[in-house]
Amino acid sequence: MHKLLTSAVLVGSFFSAAVAAQTYDKGFYLGGHYGQHKVELESDFANTDLDFGVAGVNAGLQLTSFLAVEARYAVGVEDEEIFDDTDSARYDIDRHMALMAKGSLPLGDRFAVFATAGYGETKYSFAYDIPGLTGSESTTESGFIYGAGATFHLTNRLSLVAEYTMLPDLEDEDEGLIESDVSMMTVGLNYQF
């Protein structure tokens, strides 16, 4: 009897959370976010971390209480600069775009956790100035991205969102001499129409 009562309470809690969450998930939503885009580079010679600030917008369509599709666009707002006596280098993020599926699990009437997966593309720029050599280059990295996060509904329409996303690694043109891990942590607000 105790197990049956416990099971009934758990099932009832799950369905009541799902029903409560439906009041917040009403189709189209828009949002904005700010975050840190991190590139960790490892080689036999040195390890370097590059941190960029990014700001962007997102638009999504909540298909059900548990599934949405979302498009994102962001630009770099904080560069990474390296100075060493007479040498200097500047790394920028020109833009980041993504198209993702987003699966959510409500955990009450105001809180939900979610996972994302989709396609992402980031364009990086690199400018350098060393004695006798000045120039710039750019590269675009694209591929599968995935992440996880949490949503807190401040009101029926406004939500606070935090997310951690793994992005495509930098392509190694040096035949395996450099390895990279690329990630982004964002915090933002979504407004549901």
Q: pLDDT tens, 131-182?
A: 777 888 888 999 999 999 999 999 989 999 999 999 988 765 555 556 778 9
The tens digit of pLDDT for each residue in 64-86 reads 889 999 999 999 998 877 767 67
Q: Which residues contact 160 (CB under 8 A, 6 or more apart)?
A: 151, 152, 154, 187, 188, 189
Query: Where do we find the tokens 């990474």?
Result: 80
Please compute Rg for the chain using Cα positions.
21
Task: Give me the amino acid identity at 21.
Answer: A
